[in-house]
Amino acid sequence: MSIPFYEEKNFTKIEEKIGVSFNNKDILVQALVHRSYLNEHRDFPLAHNERLEFLGDAVLELIVTEFLFENYLNPEGELTNWRAALVNGTNCALVSHEIGLDEFLFLSHGESKDANTKARDYILANALEALIGAIYIDQGWDITEQFVIRWVVTKLPEVLEQGLWMDPKSRFQEAAQEIVGVTPTYKVVKEEGPDHAKQFVIAVYLDKEQIATGEGTSKQEAQTSAAEAGLKAKGWKGPKIQILTRKPEDPIG
């Protein structure tokens, strides 16, 4: 099948980057077709990537789960949090940026203009899952597992060191209580915009000292942003956790 813009976009660059040579090039392209593109290009010969995303999401979670189960003896709750940090949209979008998927996406004209936004990161995270689904269909389990471990699971040391398995507000609170013995408080310092498009600025305090501010379209989002800024301002990482690495002689289960 002749795919429009295939040569122009040079999809072999992706294959070289990830070390996977697709037998069916069409499925690689389909993994990067956003639904919005088909609304403007109804004669495009491939479907959008949502079914591949559905498959890739499940494959990604299973590979990460199996890796954590086989390599760590930590309790189920901790492993669940670690897995969530590895497979969430933020990390998947980060991996997509590292691979360079953004320049290969098929997007509508409107979506193409919204670069460097949360909406674009959401699309990129879904595209990574779709790519994983495409690799699984085209190459099978072993190659897909190698891809996920190389690009996703290798983020685990940073997740553990930075405490990224906890949300920023929880991280900031635990660090504040442990280091300075104070529970953070949050205060709205600015609120503007119409009811349907509010923008909040919230400051986080330790006692009476303002540590940082954050913005968001909701109070919760602004508090999270403030907590992230607070962690950076203080140079605080996540809480320390005991990492129980499995030894070869340890029983499975």
- Provide the pLDDT for residue 62: 98
Domain map of the chain by residue range?
6-162, 168-234
Q: Which two tokens stand for residue 197?
A: 């498009």
Give the mean pLDDT of 113-120. 72
Structure tokens at 17: 């980057």
> Would you list the DSSP string of 44-67?
-SS--SHHHHHHHHHHHHHHHHHH
Tally of residues, the chain: 253
Q: Cα separation of 236 and 170, whole Å?
A: 12
> What is the per-residue pLDDT across 135-165, written as a single tens digit (0 to 9) for each?
999 999 999 999 999 999 999 999 998 888 8
Virtual torsion, Cα 79, 84, 87, 88, nearest 10 deg: -170
**pLDDT over threshold 60, residue 4:** no
Reported as a single tens digit per residue, the pLDDT across 65-83 is 999 999 999 999 999 999 9
Fold of 168-234: Double Stranded RNA Binding Domain (3.30.160)
Residues 200-239: pLDDT tens digits? Answer: 999 999 999 999 999 999 999 999 999 999 999 999 887 7
Rounded CA-CA distance 23/21 in Å is 7
- Average pLDDT on 99-125 reads 84
The pTM score is: 0.82
Secondary structure (3-state) at 216: strand
Confidence tier at 177 by pLDDT (50, 70, 90): very high
Nearest residue to 17 via CA among 26, 28, 27, 33: 28
Exposed, middle or buried, 33 (CB in 10 Å: 0-12/13-18/19+)?
Answer: buried
Which CATH number, 1.10.10.10, 3.20.20.30, 3.40.50.300, 1.10.1520.10, labels domain 6-162? 1.10.1520.10
Catalytic residues: 57, 129
Centre a 10 Å sphere on the Cβ of residue 67 and count the other Cβ atoms it contains: 18
